[in-house]
Amino acid sequence: MLYCQILIGILSNLTNKRILLAVTGSIAAYKSADLTRRLREAGAEVRVVMTQGGTEFITPMTLQAVSGHPVYTTLMDVEAEAGMGHIELARWADLLLIAPASADSLARMVQGRGDDLLGAICLACEAPIAVAPAMNQAMWADAATQANIATLQQRDVHLFGPAEGEQACGEVGSGRMLEPLELVTACSGLFATGSLAGKKVLITAGPTREALDPMRFISNRSSGRMGYAMAAACVEAGAEVVLISGPVCLSAPERVTRVDVESAAEMLVATESQLNGCDIFIATAAVADYRPIEVAEQKLKKQASTLTLSLEPTTDILATIAEQAPATFMVGFAAETENIAHYARGKLEKKSLDMIAANQIGREQDGSPIGFESEQNALNVYWQGGEKALPVMPKSRLARELVELIAARINTKI
């Protein structure tokens, strides 16, 4: 029973993780289809790239069927580059897993070659990279391979395996690729940092709705994704997480207690009621600054050509909580369209926060949105005497990086 709970905990670290699986030219490539299936069963989204060598051992068609997505095999592919090109794939990934990793692909990684799709992705990838070598025992033991592995490990590439045992060539020794389930567990372990173990984290997320009448409300474009990603990242880091959520179309991450609210007033009450014993408060919610002074009991009828609404300020949740719980580590978010650093530092001081993450709301050069309504975001994080810029990346990865910044700063709170 306990074993099952631990197993479920380990595996659910992979929920919604984006794993870019690279299949290279090893006989163990036949296991990649099962690995893809197992990763998806554990909740991960899997996309597959293959080297030319990899396609000699298992067909892209098979991996396309089990991953549910097109398989990418060539670098110089006009169509692929117009869709999900090598940079886009590298940026998409939460983890690049090369399994099986042939001796040759390891050697090419060490050289930093960019003349095939996998090489270019490895160079462009800022997410963690893990390799699962698979080769004949003599190839594995060879000094060149061992030197290559040592170099890759120095560059923070994670090494999964290899295992010992009987090999496809009939020899016995070290060089077998780990079994798919062992690789799933190893991937899961990469996402579990333990940096917030034993901490209770309270997070607000999403927009609020301020009612005008029983049918209408004033709200904003917040999707809640950043707050939900923060909740998932805090759970991965070992925290107990309560998520106070405005109305969003997202399901709660595994092992998160979610409390649903609508208005800013409800969000404040729910937050106050969960504050006891809270070590960290992260306010990602886009809380309305104003609400209608009067809420009509019946539907407002169309009458005059103009309608004037009178609004009053809502209570500032972050400032209120910061005052009520001075020992709690306070993290605010600021969504701005201009003068980010100026506004963010001002908010840090005025509300006595420990950290503020400011995001620019707007569009990337290619026109895709960042910030609200987007899968991607970039943050500038500020604290007393320090700052760090986190460039555009998926919100899930951004959340993990922010959690590590929080974990590094939390003990500085007196």
Q: Which residues bind ligand FMN (CB under 6 A)?
A: 24-28, 51, 53-54, 102-105, 134-135, 139
Residue number with CB closer to ligand FMN (102 or 204): 102
Rounded least distance, CB 56 to ligand FMN, Å? 7
| Cβ atoms of residues 323 and 333 within 8 Å | no
Contacts of 327 (CB under 8 A, 6+ apart): 413
CA atoms within 13 A on the CB side of 207: 17
- Ramachandran bin of 333, using left for φ above 0, alpha for ψ from -120 to 50, beta for the remaining angles: beta
Rounded least distance, CB 101 to ligand FMN, Å? 8
Which member of 169, 234, 249, 278 is catalytic? 169
SS3 category, 338: coil
Rounded least distance, CB 347 to ligand FMN, Å? 51
Dihedral sign for Cα 95, 98, 103, 109, please.
negative
Residue number with CB closer to ligand FMN (159 or 265): 159
The per-type count for the chain, helices as H runs and strands as E runs, is: 16, 22
Contacts of 306 (CB under 8 A, 6+ apart): none
Cα 382 from Cα 355, distance rounded (Å): 6
In degrees rounded to 5, what are phi and psi of residue 311? -115, 155
Contacts of 67 (CB under 8 A, 6+ apart): 21, 36, 40, 46, 47, 48
- Ramachandran bin of 385, using left for φ above 0, alpha for ψ from -120 to 50, beta for the remaining angles: left
In degrees rounded to 5, what are phi and psi of residue 285? -60, 145
Residue number with CB closer to ligand FMN (32 or 102): 102
Q: What is the DSSP string of 267-334?
A: HHHHHHHT-TT-SEEEE--B--SEEES---SSPPPP-SS-----EEEPP-HHHHHHHH-TTSEEEEEE
222: enclosing H helix or E strand: none
Rounded least distance, CB 76 to ligand FMN, Å? 16
Among the listed residues 71, 58, 4, the one whose alpha carbon sits nearest the alpha carbon of residue 32: 58
Rounded least distance, CB 160 to ligand FMN, Å? 15
Residue nearest ligand FMN by beta-carbon distance: 53
187 annotated active-site = no
Tokens (6 digits) for 6: 């631990």
Going by the DSSP 8-state scheme, the letter that residue 29 receives in this structure is G
The count of other CB atoms within 10 Å of the CB of residue 147 is 12
Rounded least distance, CB 68 to ligand FMN, Å? 23
Rounded least distance, CB 25 to ligand FMN, Å? 3
Rounded least distance, CB 176 to ligand FMN, Å? 9
User: Catalytic amino acids?
Assistant: 169
